[in-house]
């Protein structure tokens, strides 16, 4: 396998680091390295992250005085991130040029055309790949851009891939589909279950449905464990079975999944494909309750252990309550190594 350099978020709490590319972050795959592409400032990482955040960009758009004051500093931060990232790339073998995989989550503006030009000049023969871990529409929305602006950036790469099959069909030939990888934690499920249903995620305009589900389960004597993370959590009220606050490490998320009988997946607005929750159900042999109507087309779908719902009233509580052996026969096809081999096949 050729050498790969993955350029993703520098925040080691991000799901891209702790779940998707964890084996690269931890250095478990020979010839594969992980670098943070944004805010690589020695001694001033917090400042750089603030200057390049989406929150600041939204405030600058609304305030001309603030834009005049902080706009140049933001532009400097983005240039600085590019220069420091390029300096961090090391060990380039001219005989075996690497493949650079950019996966900056939704922070696409941190990938400048100048950075790509510099990489091609520094490493002739390298391959530049972009991997989208969110939908094109949501990425554009977060960046206050248009979908065509996102596609214009993607066209500067040798190839661009997405986790979203519907986006790959909608935006072909700009995008192609590759299954998103997921790290499998070396943990065993405890002997006793602690909850019938588990959910973890941001509010993303779905708190009403999630709370309806939670209250229906609790009213029927079932145990529901829901963790709301991020800024949207502050608008909710704490109550038994509901946890509010910042993200927890992905290891902790897995440790909360394992003592649950079923994982709950609720797609966010502008998302059309299954989330990591589906893969977690497969990796850890858990039931899955989802509002994704396309679940039946996925390779590990099994009607015994996966159910689709639209409202809280649709949920079969007896099915949730029943504890039974679950085995999807996972074949390792969500590993990072499988993902990289697929990239190598499509971008020789």
The 10s digit of each residue's pLDDT in 187-207 is 988 989 999 999 998 766 678
Q: What are the pLDDT digits (tens) for 119-152?
A: 888 888 899 999 998 889 888 887 778 999 899 9
Q: Which residues face 92 on adjacent strands?
A: none
Cα(88)–Cα(81) distance, integer angstroms: 11
Give the pLDDT of residue 9: 78
pLDDT band for 330, please (50, 70, 90 cuts): very high
For residue 167, count CB atoms less than 10 angstroms from its CB and return exposed for 0-12, middle for 13-18, buried for 19 or more: buried
Cα(54)–Cα(296) distance, integer angstroms: 36
| Domains of the chain from N-terminus onward | 4-179+337-346 (3.40.50), 195-321 (3.40.50.2000)
Indicate if the pLDDT at residue 40 is higher than 50.
no
Indicate if the pLDDT at residue 70 is higher than 80.
no
Cα(193)–Cα(195) distance, integer angstroms: 6
Count Cβ neighbours within 10 Å for each residue of 232-253 and write b for 16 or more, e otherwise: bbeeeeeeebbebeebbebeeb
pLDDT band for 7, please (50, 70, 90 cuts): confident
Report DSSP letters for 336-347, one per residue: HHHHHHHHHHH-
Q: Six-digit token pair at 313?
A: 């009233």
Give the pLDDT of residue 315: 95
What value does the mean pLDDT of the chain take? 83
Give the pLDDT of residue 271: 65
Dihedral of alpha carbons 131, 135, 140, 141, sign: negative
Percent of the chain with pLDDT over 70: 77
Q: What are the pLDDT digits (tens) for 92-114?
A: 666 778 899 999 876 676 677 88
Q: What are the pLDDT digits (tens) for 230-262?
A: 655 555 677 888 888 777 788 989 999 999 999
Of 282 and 55, the structure prediction assigns the larger pLDDT to 282
Cα(201)–Cα(268) distance, integer angstroms: 10
Q: What are the pLDDT digits (tens) for 207-233?
A: 888 899 999 999 999 999 998 876 555
Count Cβ neighbours within 10 Å for each residue of 5-28 and write b for 16 or more, e otherwise: bbbbbbbeebbbbbbbbbbbbeee
Selection from 280, 277, 281, 274 nearest residue 302 by Cα? 281
Give the pLDDT of residue 38: 46
Radius of gyration of the chain from its Cα atoms, rounded to whole angstroms: 21
Q: Please, are residues 124 and 130 in contact by the beta-carbon 8 Å criterion?
A: no
Alpha helices in the chain (DSSP H): 15, 22-25, 45-51, 54-62, 64-88, 113-122, 136-142, 147-154, 165-170, 207-219, 250-257, 276-283, 317-321, 336-346
Q: Please, are residues 289 and 264 in contact by the beta-carbon 8 Å criterion?
A: yes
For residue 122, count CB atoms less than 10 angstroms from its CB and return exposed for 0-12, middle for 13-18, buried for 19 or more: exposed
Indicate if the pLDDT at residue 5 is higher than 70.
yes
SS3 63: coil
């Amino acid at each position: 396998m050729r050498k790969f350099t993955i350029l993703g978020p520098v925040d080691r709490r991000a799901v891209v680091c702790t779940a998707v590319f964890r084996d690269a972050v931890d250095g478990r795959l020979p010839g594969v390295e992980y670098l943070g592409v944004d805010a690589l400032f020695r001694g001033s990482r917090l400042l750089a992250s603030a200057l390049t955040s989406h929150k600041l960009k939204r405030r600058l758009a609304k305030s001309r005085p603030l834009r005049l004051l902080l706009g140049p500093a933001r532009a400097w931060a983005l240039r600085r991130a590019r220069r420091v990232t390029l300096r961090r790339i090391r060990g380039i073998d001219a005989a075996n040029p690497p493949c650079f995989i950019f996966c900056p989550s939704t922070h696409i503006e941190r990938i400048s055309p100048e950075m790509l030009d510099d990489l091609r000049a520094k490493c002739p023969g390298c391959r530049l790949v972009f991997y989208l871990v969110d939908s094109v529409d949501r990425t554009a929305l977060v960046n206050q851009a248009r979908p065509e602006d996102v596609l214009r950036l993607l066209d500067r790469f040798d190839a661009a891939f997405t986790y979203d099959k519907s986006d790959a069909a909608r935006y072909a030939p700009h995008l192609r589909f590759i299954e998103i990888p997921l790290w499998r934690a070396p943990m065993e499920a405890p002997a006793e279950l602690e909850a019938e249903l588990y959910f973890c995620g941001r509010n993303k305009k779905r708190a009403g449905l999630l709370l309806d589900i939670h209250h229906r389960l609790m009213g029927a004597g079932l145990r529901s464990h829901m963790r709301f993370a991020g800024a949207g959590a502050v608008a909710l009220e704490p109550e038994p079975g509901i946890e509010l606050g910042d993200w927890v490490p992905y290891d902790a998320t897995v440790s909360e999944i394992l003592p649950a009988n079923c994982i709950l997946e609720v797609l966010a607005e502008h998302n059309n494909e299954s989330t990591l929750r589906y893969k977690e159900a497969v990796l850890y042999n858990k039931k899955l309750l989802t509002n994704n109507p396309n679940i039946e087309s996925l390779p590990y779908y099994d009607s015994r252990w996966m159910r689709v719902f639209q409202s809280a009233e649709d949920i079969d509580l007896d099915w949730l309550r029943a504890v039974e052996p679950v085995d999807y026969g996972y074949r390792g096809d969500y590993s990072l190594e499988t993902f990289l081999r697929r990239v190598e096949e499509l971008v020789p």
